[in-house]
Structure 1
Amino acid sequence: MDWEETAQEREFRQEVRAFVRDRFPACYRPDPEAEHSLEPEDVWGYDWPADRRSADPERRAAARAWAAALAERGWIAPHLPVAYGGAGLSPMREFILREEMMRAEVPTVNGIGAMLLGPTLVEYGNDEQRAAHLPGIARGETVWAQGFSEPDAGSDLASLRTTAVREPAEASDAADAEVYRVNGQKVWTSSAQHADWLFVLVRTDPRAPKHKGISFLLIDATSPGITIRPLRDMRGADPFAEIHFDDVRVPVANRVGEENRGWYVAMAALGFERAGIGATIKFERVLERLITSLRSAQGQDFRRADTAVLRHEIAQRHIELRVQYAMARLTASRQTAGAVPGYEASVSQLLGAELHQRLARTGAKAFGPYAQLWQRDGAPMDAAFAHMRFDAVAATLLGGTTEIQRSVIATRGLGLPRS
């Protein structure tokens, strides 16, 4: 892998910095009371899917203006072909774009739709599906949510029980297409309450082996029979929701890939999810702020006494961040060479999840008993690490548990037997 950027890539990095400086709306500021987003590509203080529908007209207008500015360049979904509203960027240029946006701490737009579903439709969708959905994703007009997890099928995703029964077209109306009747429940679906569409795994053959009876459907979130209820977490935020499907009619034409082969489509989508740079830069910025705070006069009043141990911990976190950055860049390099993200993406996911928890503990221990302060006013670093400890609880569950990631690394990366 070549660590040196080309002259063209360095020029592109400067272009991105200038664009963010000149086009990001000055009135679109982080919400100081917001909890950190649980999505790795999001930045603190922003929730773009919610902001675009905010009751505050200024925030709503700013969120939409930022989406419009990015869409002009095709930078909402930069990997998509230009014909569908993307920029056709190489994986390495997309890596640079995401990195610089995270360093500037400006929000991404249409995260799950752009980063997961977009490339999945390019790879597995048909021409009609790409034409129907990719332009809306690339313009920031259609927000998507991922309906995979279920109450009794979290880590063992293939054990899902939401069913889709295929029905023929209505004999009384020849214009009606074949449909699936979808029934079941999804849970822990990020931003589902803000979504226009859902991409969902359903069981279409209950008699097939569990990995081979699953299909991948695109479902309009406003379809009759869908109920979406936000779920409150222990921080008091509601970043995700549960979704109930009660005889929801979904056209068979909305199936991505072959019937009963949706598992392979879903695994490709999750590979795109795990390949991002966002979490690395987010954690780098947090560590930088921790060091700056500890060196300040206020930080010295709050910090723990045994600074030698603290220095060692901070150095260890810095080393781990550089390893995670290297893995993210390796994934981008492999994509540039034409490879599909594989076990390297699971390594990145595993590193990021566990680093999130270790970094939260290091920051909390740095301030000793003061890290127990939850109210931001007057607390060290505005209680950032008190809140981060709560954020980090779910890190080793989101996007696939650490046990699942280790299994992928062992079997696909190291070639070890499954049993």
Structure 2
Amino acid sequence: MNWDDTPEEAAFREEVRAFVQENFPPSYRPDPEGEQSLEPEDVRGYNWAEDRASDDPDRRDGARAWARALAGRGWITPHWPAEYGGAGLSAKEEFILQEELMRARVPTVNGIGAFLLGPTLLVHGTEEQKARHLPGIARGETTWAQGFSEPGSGSDLASIRTRAVRDGDDYVVDGQKVWTSLGQYADWLFVLVRTDPGAEPKHRGITFLLVDTAAPGVTVRPITDLRGAAPFCEIFFEGVRVPVADRVGEENRGWYVAMSALGFERAGIGATIKYEQALHDLVGYLRSAEGRGFARADRDAYRKEIARRHTEIRVLYNLARYTVSKQAAGEEPGFEASVNQLFGAELHQRLARTGARAFGRAGALWDRGNVVPGGDPPDPPNGSAAYQGGSPLNAAFTHMRRDSIAATFLGGTSEIQRNVIATRGLNLPR
């Protein structure tokens, strides 16, 4: 298939590049000590959800100014209709926008609300729910997190135990969610709860609710991971009253709403560009005077390994382009989304190992340096992530290797993805 831009798409790509150059706040600089978020569209050195409430005025004001700039074009929610604050972009234009923001190494805004909840409300929400929640997402004023997984109910999502009991015009919610990405920075949650404990099969007794994190009885506790970062949290619900008006879809039919939301989750370009940039930084570093100090005895074999990673990244890019081509043709991504998820997750781990191997024992150094040859760190949006100093390539691949451990079960385990591919893509029996 021909992935070349049409003249109109090429012009839009140039428009996006010019917009970033002209509108990204110069004071909103990447934090070289910040951990890479586990979300595919997040850019190293930035965490927009956290930055918007930072104690550092440069980060806080920069994050909010960037959101205003994007919102002014409808580009926080580019695929939404204009009446809800979007830009009404085509699937291919949205793809180009995301690709260029990632290539410029600038953060996306309101990712979970914009790309998961918003499209779900557009399909399943009431007009009152759309009018109440969509404008705040589109302006970057309200942030959301996804409350699905529970202790013992991750891959087997239908086994959730958080319970909601109808009491007049409210549901009373009790239970716990865990591994909620960026939940400690969220204003609202979209949550799966069990409303029919005796339903068979189990997924038929689940309801989809919108929950204000400021509601009495909601407790949020960040979880520290093996890197020392806290990209997710656990959330406790104790007698939380949620208005029935904040139910999306029918009672006991929330499973189908949730599957719609997860379908939107698995069709992005962000991870592909991150891997491409990471490999580019690695090759550039190894060709530098400092990097040549890590010359390997198996140089030819290692060159072939890097070539394989490059080829695999191009495959992942083409998988993403194939998915968006189906969307552009009016089709919903099906098992192809699972192919993308599975291949990307395993590539993440292979790329991390390739990068860490380049430096031998020095590839285990964890502390990052903050010195860049030539002086100060480069200005965004076109600055390199390859900060050098106390450890090779600013320990980028040491940290990526830790990041990648969770890749094959975030967003659905590899076993689940293979089952989806087998049954829906290859029509194999269950």
Same fold, TM-score > 0.5, yes or no? yes
The one of 192, 197, 206 equivalent to 1:201 is 192
- Partner Cα distance (1:2, 1:342) in 2: 22
Distance, in Å, in 2 between the alignment partners of 1:333 and 1:253 is: 36
Taking only the aligned residue pairs, the percentage that are identical comes to: 69
Residue 13 of structure 2 is matched in structure 1 by: 13
Name which of 406, 409, 412 aligns with 1:400: 412
Contact 1:356-1:395 within 8 A present in 2 as well: yes
Distance apart, 1:267 and its partner CA: 1.1
* Partner amino acid, structure 1, of 2:39: E
Distance 2:342 2:327 in 1: 19
- Measured against aligned partners, the alpha-carbon deviations of 1:213-257 in whole angstroms (never above 9, x if no partner) come to 111111111100000000000100001000000011001111111
Give 2:172's match in structure 1, choosing from 170, 181, 185.
181
Q: From 219, 224, 236, give the equivalent of 1:227.
A: 219
Counterpart of 1:240 (choices 216, 222, 232) is 232
Q: How far apart, in 1, do the equivalents of 2:256 and 2:338 lie?
A: 16
1:317-363 deviation line (CA, Å, top 9, x unaligned): 11111111111111111111111121111111111111110000000
Where do 1:289-368 residues align within 5 Å?
A: 289-368=281-360
Range with bigger deviation, 325-334 or 45-54:
325-334
**Distance of 1:327 and 1:265 partners within structure 2:** 25
Q: Are 2:403 and 1:391 equivalent residues in the alignment?
A: yes
Read off the aligned partner of 2:160 and give its amino acid letter. L
Label 1:338 to 1:363 Cα distance change in 2 as closer, same or farther (>3 A): same
Structure 1 position 271 matched with structure 2 position 263:
yes
Query: Which amino acid letter does the alignment assign opposite residue 16 of structure 2?
Result: V
User: CA 1:241 to 1:303, structure 2 compared with 1: closer, same or farther past 3 Å?
Assistant: farther
**Distance in 2 separating the partners of 1:303 and 1:63:** 41
Tell me how far apart the structure 1 counterparts of residues 129 and 295 of structure 2 sit (CA, whole Å). Answer: 55
Identify which range, 156-165 or 95-104, moves more after superposition. 156-165
- 1:415 matches 2:427: yes
Match of 2:272? 280
Q: Is the 8 A contact 1:190 1:240 kept in 2?
A: yes
Q: Which runs of 5 or more structure 2 residues have no equivalent in the other structure? A: 370-389
The 5-angstrom pairing of residues 79-118 of structure 1 reads 79-118=79-118
Q: What is the total number of aligned residue pairs between the two structures? A: 409
Q: Is the 8 A contact 1:36 1:44 kept in 2?
A: yes
**Equivalent residue letter for 1:351:** F
Deviations 1:367-395 (A, max 9, x none): 11110111122211011111111111111
Name the amino acid aligned to 2:38: L
Contact 1:396 1:402 in 2 (8 A): yes
TM-score, normalization by structure 2: 0.94
Distance across 1 between alignment mates of 2:157 and 2:166: 22
Aligned with 2:290: secondary structure? helix
What SS is found at the alignment partner of 1:9? helix
The aligned residue for residue 171 of structure 1 is: none
CA spacing shift, 1:151–1:65, aligned 2, 3 Å: same
Q: How many Å separate the matches in 2 of 1:218 and 1:341? A: 25
Shift of 1:303: 4.1
The CA distance in 2 between the partners of 1:371 and 1:246, in whole Å, is 45
Looking at structure 2, the residues matched to 409 and 166 of structure 1 have their Cα atoms a distance apart, in angstroms, of: 38
Could you tell me how far 1:284 is from its partner in structure 2? 0.3
Residues 49-60 of structure 1 mapped to structure 2, 5 A cutoff: 49-60=49-60
How many Å separate the matches in 2 of 1:114 and 1:256?
A: 16
Runs of 5+ consecutive residues of structure 1 not aligned to the other structure: 169-177
Q: Conserved in 2, the CA contact under 8 Å of 1:302 and 1:380?
A: no
Moved over 4 A (4+): none
CA distance in 1, matches of 2:57, 2:3: 44
- TM alignment of 1:65-84, pairs within 5 A: 65-84=65-84
Shift of 1:2: 4.4
Cα distance, 1:278 vs structure 2: 0.2
AA aligned to 1:340 is: E
Q: 2:207 aligns with which of 206, 215, 235?
A: 215
Deviation at 1:160, TM superposition (A): 0.7
* Cα distance, 1:309 vs structure 2: 1.2
What does residue 174 of structure 1 align with? none
Alpha-carbon distance between aligned partners in 2 of 1:27 and 1:399, rounded to the nearest angstrom: 34
- The separation in 2 between residues aligned to 1:86 and 1:326, in whole angstroms, is 27
Name the aligned partner's letter for residue 370 of structure 1. A
Specify the code of the residue in structure 1 equivalent to 2:121.
L
Query: Is this contact kept in 2: 1:302–1:370, CA < 8 A?
Result: no
Whether the 8 Å contact between 1:190 and 1:241 is mirrored in structure 2 is yes
SS in 2 for 1:297: coil
**Contact 1:151/1:186 (CA < 8 Å) preserved in 2?**
yes
